[in-house]
Amino acid sequence: MRRFDWRSRPAEWFASDNKAQGHDQWVYFVCRVAGKVALIADHLALYRQHGSNTCGFFGANVRERLRKVTNDREGYYARRTRRARQCQEYLETLAAQHPGLLGERLVAGARQYGEIAGYTAGRAALHAATGSRIQRTYTLFRLWRQGAYRNRDIGGWGLQGFALDASTLVR
């Protein structure tokens, strides 16, 4: 796992408010690409939020963070697109350096992040203030056809994501 050095992570490894992503998210990223991720019933760590945390999701900021995401969906999805593209490029660079099984997994991960970037770019366009209803309908149909709305447990946004995106057609 030394090949996945935290210091070499993609430059845009930031959340929507430009706060650095946590190490736990980095571990998930590495495991998702290089191995397997599975839920287990055992408690392996005690995670607590308290007033002196330097980062985290707690307190009165929850309402403010949700408001920012819902009021600026275009910007949110544009940031997600940039991050996915950087993850894709990072994995492609690593794959070129590591042939064999790890290289194959890195290539597959890069392909997945490229797919995610395409989906989130489509969502950014869908939620943009510009664009006619016909253009937004076409974008929604294209995302559906590409599999963006497949079940969430297999990498899509599910019916809930489709409903949110379809709501852009009636504004």
**pLDDT tens figures, 15-53:** 545 555 667 777 888 888 887 777 788 887 777 766 666
Domain-by-domain residue ranges, the chain?
6-129, 131-171
* pLDDT at residue 109 tops 90: yes
Q: Mean per-residue pLDDT for 97-114?
A: 91
Query: What was the pLDDT predicted at 49?
Result: 67
DSSP string, 108-124: HHHHHHHHHHHHHHHHH
Query: What was the pLDDT predicted at 170?
Result: 80
**% of residues, the chain, pLDDT over 90:** 22
Q: Sort 24 into a burial class: Cβ within 10 Å, 0-12 / 13-18 / 19+.
A: exposed
